[in-house]
Homo-oligomer: A and B are copies of this chain.
């Protein structure tokens, strides 16, 4: 947890991350910038590829700010992708419309020979310089009471994409490598720990005030491997960042970790914990600690469906998790079919609670 006194920040999200239990939780939404917004789709059409969008500061800045203009949210999150890190390391990455990301898959035989953190060690950040330029531009444009959040993928999740060559159902290639050739797989994880610290440090230097580690595939490992491939390397990322930026709040999001959320909370040193929608709120407050800042965890399908059940579900989260420090969020990203008016209604309800 941050050692900052709870009262020095005027921004609501930073106060909660400092340990303050607010009456009304601050709010932002995972994937709040994106395809469900018509203004996003207009900008998307101006770039040939998804990666070009991420690497064009004028466009990425505009996309990052779009949800802040439309809704009364407390934070902007950098518009980018977790796969810019393997890209910067030298792996081929591309996006196929409607199919998601594709990578030229790594395997234990070819190993890591083609990968290097060289570019990320440069002053400007090499290939990712436009990403850090976007962070600066967003920070300059953002109102004073809004927080800017940077992010990276968790090392296990990024490794899974690098080895599977894209999304996977079974994760059998990456798990097989991790289980059977533990040494060479550790080299891949070590490389990602180093790259992630560099990537997030560049973001913080450019103006990110908080960072989130998206460990989206945390739910597919048995306990021993979870500790070795998720908890332990994440702890190294946290301590690497805190060595440079002692007060930096770091939100860990080990999606799907189930009962292992407890291990992650205890052993990584993260400032706050993002909860996926399947985590029971009362269990979380009890098992994960009454004073740990928590973030979450409305089911994105509630936001898609809208109406009374969305409001009831949101109220239940605030009632239970709000007994401690809480940042309201979804348990996963906004679904692309979500009507933007549902976001407006959710935010209005959460704000209304304070009046």
Residue numbers of A with Cβ under 8 A of B are 170-172, 175-176, 179-180, 182, 219-226, 256-263, 277-281, 283-284, 287, 297, 299, 301-302, 304-305, 307, 309-310, 313, 316, 331, 335, 337
Please, which residues of chain B bring their CB within 8 A of the CB of A221? 277-278, 299
Compute how far the CA of A255 lies from the CA of B277 in the bound complex, rounded to whole angstroms.
16
Contact of A258 among B176, B220, B256, B310 (CB under 8 A): B256
**Complexed CA–CA distance, A337 and B173 (Å):** 11
* A25: min CB distance to chain B, Å: 17
How many Å from the CB of A39 to the closest CB on chain B? 23
The answer to whether B277 touches A331, judged by C-beta atoms less than 8 angstroms apart, is no
Q: Are A301 and B176 in contact (CB under 8 A)?
A: yes
Once A172-B337, A224-B313, A301-B175 are accepted as A-B contacts, the answer to whether A219 and B259 lie under 8 Å apart by CB is no
- Integer count of this chain's copies in the complex: 2
Min CB distance A283 to B, Å, is: 5
Interface of A is mostly: helix
B172 and A335 contacting across the interface, CB-CB below 8 Å: yes
Neighbouring B residues of A223 by C-beta, 8 Å: 278, 280-281
Within the complex, which residue of B180, B279, B302, B313 is in contact with A259, where a contact is CB–CB below 8 Å? B279
Residues of B within 8 A of A307 (CB): 180
Chain B residues near A179: list those with CB within 8 A: 299, 301-302, 305, 309-310, 313
Decide: B299 and A278 in contact? CB cutoff 8 A: no
Q: How far is the CA of A182 from the CA of B313 in the complex (A)?
A: 14
New A-B pairs, 18, CB < 8 Å, besides A223-B281, A258-B259, A258-B279: A170-B335, A176-B304, A179-B301, A179-B302, A179-B309, A179-B310, A180-B309, A182-B309, A219-B278, A220-B278, A221-B277, A222-B277, A222-B278, A222-B297, A222-B313, A256-B278, A259-B259, A262-B283
A225 to B298, CA, bound (A): 12
Pairs of residues from A and B, 6 with the lowest C-beta to C-beta distance, nearest first: A258-B258, A175-B301, A223-B280, A180-B305, A259-B283, A222-B277
Alpha-carbon distance between A301 and B173 when the two chains are bound, in angstroms: 9
Residue of B nearest to A297 (CB): B222
Given A172-B337, A337-B172, check contact A287 B259 (CB 8 Å): yes
CA distance A219 to B284 in the complex (A): 16
Q: Is the CB of B263 within 8 A of A280?
A: yes
User: A258: which B residues are within 8 A, CB to CB?
Assistant: 219, 256-259, 261, 278-279
Shortest C-beta distance, A339 to chain B (Å), equals 12
Known: A256-B256, A301-B179. A316 touches B280 (CB 8 A): no
Of all chain B residues, which has the CB nearest A225?
A: B299
Chain B residues contacting A281 (CB-CB under 8 Å) are: 223
**Residues of chain B with a CB closer than 8 A to A278's CB:** 219-223, 226, 256-258, 260
- Per the bound structure, the CA–CA distance linking A20 and B180 in Å amounts to 35
13 residue pairs of the A-B complex, CB under 8 angstroms, read A170-B335, A172-B335, A176-B304, A176-B305, A179-B301, A180-B309, A219-B219, A224-B316, A226-B278, A256-B256, A259-B259, A259-B261, A259-B287
**Nearest residue, chain B, Cβ from A100:** B169
